[in-house]
Amino acid sequence: MKRILIYDTTLRDGNQAEDVNFSLEDKIKIALKLDAFAIPYIEGGWPGASPVDTAFFHEIAAHELKNAVVVAFGSTHHPRATAESDKNLKALLAAKTKAIALVGKSSEVHAREALHITKERNLEIAADSVAYLKQQGKEVFFDAEHFFDGMAGNPEYSLAVLQRAFAAGADYLVLCDTNGGALPSDIAAMVGRVREVLPEARLGVHTHNDCGMAVATSLAAVEAGCCMVQGTINGVGERTGNADLVSLIPILELKCKGAYRCLPEGRLSMLRSVSNYVAEIANLQPFARQPFVGRSAFAHKGGVHVSAVNCKSSLYEHINPEAVGNEQRILLTELAGRSNIVSLARRFGFHLDKDEPVVVGLLAELKEKSAMGYDYAAAEASVELLILRKLGRRGVRDFFKLIQFRVLESKRDADGVPLSEATVYLEVEGALEHTAAYGEGPVNALDKALRKALSGFYPRLKEMRLVDFKVRVLADGDHRGTESLVRVLIESADQNNKWVTVGVSYNIIEASWQALIDSITYKLYKDENEMRAAQQGD
């Protein structure tokens, strides 16, 4: 079993995708998730090139990563500088990472036409930059940009670049298909050639998906001898994206007859949750047909397929979906489900039997609301409340009754500051409360007015704060543009817990209201439960 090192560049090359734009907080969250997933190398960004990337390296240093080494990315020194004087290399060192990825031209055409330097000068630049960073004690990955295109033109030159970088001390030579145009058979042959010329070097591969074959070209490179694979979660990246690690990792671990290993035992089943987490943070719709982790990846629609998988799943499934945290779904025939409800209720402390009528009722309600767009996988507090209400459990009750709310939003003149004001009129513990608040936007005004009305009755609401507020417009054939269905997820926290609630409506205020109400109800229910338990304990 050969260990293949997974090198994630979601935070750097992934951020080059047209529709991805990570904030500092996004990058930190993703890095921590990748560390938990035990990815060995995380490329964090290009220090010096963007303020977010510079800040990332400072910030991530405050976290103790358990598995991952953070890598700073930058280019070889400027043609008019030396390694010692180069601004870019200084910024790389200032990032204070253990490892540095250094991108250098490995194609004669690029040296001449993009850098406007001689091919000899380009060799010097590569060698000097690598040597200088090695002197500073760094682990150095030399990213040989445009390597495969270079090999198609002047292979001796491209190989010479690798030889110089290797001689200068590079720890890995990473062969890049920067333009994404190389075919798997060409890549296999060219990696073979490098192995002949540099049998001692450790090789990596970095591919792009411009031909829809980035996963296959990466696999071909591994089969030909590369021991490191660079890619991104969900294949996001410049143009058509990078090799999708969410496909590559399970292919290497499950499909290659035990030849390769990438992750510690037991991590692979996190694959789907890692993929969804990154999609969520990037605010991209998860892709239903994504291999291994997509919602449709093990969904059977064809009649022949459905009856066969009912006999034996493997007849139409190439792997066991649970191995990657996914599940089989049967479309149209709606067969599955009651056992899901039973195991969900068990999580919240209720032992139900599969044949109880309440299970059937819950299943129907959850299916109906999921089809409407309620994302119960993300919003467990809302599911727990739904189950508790259906079971008629003591403690979960309506802590107040809405009589009316209004939100008034106004703006004067094109340059005027918009004003948001909310009024709420509620019945709380038998009393009538009528109050108002301003806010930053309509949902914030409503949130403030609601807390103002309730906190006299439930002072512990003051412990609760809203941590995150997410809005997703759901695609839907009939409603388009500003009429679209909207899902709101609200994450709340108090000193002990965090919880997520959901609301769905064509109206964003209504969807937010649903999620807010669930969030407050959950807090009050948990507090009452806790108090009751404490009293019984006395």
Footprint (CB under 8 A) of its own copies, residues 399-418: 401-414, 416, 418
Place of tokens 């402390």: 349
CA angle, 475 then 479 then 485, to 5°: 55
Choosing from 285, 320, 339, 343, the residue that interacts with its own copies (CB under 8 A) is: 285
* Shortest Å, Cβ 186 to its own copies: 9
Asked if 428 touches its own copies (CB under 8 A), the answer is no
Q: CA angle, corner 200, sides to 255 and 150, nearest 5?
A: 80
Q: Please choose, out of 56-64, 119-127, 195-203, 210-218, the segment that lies near its own copies by the rule CB under 8 A.
A: 210-218
Residue 150: CB minimum distance to its own copies, A: 12
The CA-based dihedral angle spanning residues 30, 33, 38, 41, taken in that order and rounded to the nearest 10 degrees: 10
Site for its own copies in 326-355 (CB under 8 A): 331, 333-335
Residues 330 and 302 sit within 8 Å (Cβ to Cβ): no
103-132 residues in contact with its own copies (CB under 8 A) are: 109-110, 113-114
Select from 77, 300, 523, 526 the one that contacts its own copies (CB under 8 A). 300
Q: Which of 442, 501, 523, 524 binds its own copies (CB under 8 A)?
A: 442
Among 60, 101, 162, 215, binds its own copies (CB under 8 A): 215
Size of the site for its own copies (CB under 8 A): 139
- Beta strand segments in 92-216, E: 99-105, 139-145, 172-177, 203-207
From 283, 320, 339, 497, residue interacting with its own copies (rule: CB under 8 A): 283
Nearer to its own copies, 135 or 185 (CB): 185
Angle in degrees, CA 204, 326, 305, rounded to 5: 110
d(CA 148, CA 174): 11
**Distance (Å, whole) CA 47 – CA 29:** 18
- List 119, 348, 470, 527, residue binding its own copies (CB under 8 A): 470
Q: Whose structure tokens read 């067969």?
A: 335
* Residue nearer to its own copies on the CB measure, 66 or 312: 312
Distance in angstroms between the alpha carbons of the first and the last residue of the chain:
58
From residue 498, give the alpha-carbon distance in Å to each of 274, 472, 523: 19, 21, 10
Distance (Å, whole) CA 173 – CA 366: 51
What mask, x for binding its own copies by CB under 8 A, covers residues 166 to 205?
A: ------------xxxx-xxx--------------------
From 237, 316, 302, select the one nearest 8 (Cα to Cα).
237
Rule CB under 8 A: which of 3-22 touch its own copies? 16-19, 21
Pick 135 or 283: Cβ nearer its own copies: 283
Residue 407 Cβ, how far from its own copies at the closest point, in Å? 4
Of the candidate spans 86-94, 133-141, 193-201, 312-320, the one that interacts with its own copies by CB under 8 A turns out to be 312-320
Question: Which parts of 475-513 are beta strand (E)?
Answer: 485-493, 498-505
Rg (CA), the chain: 28
As measured in angstroms, the least distance from the Cβ of 255 to its own copies is: 6
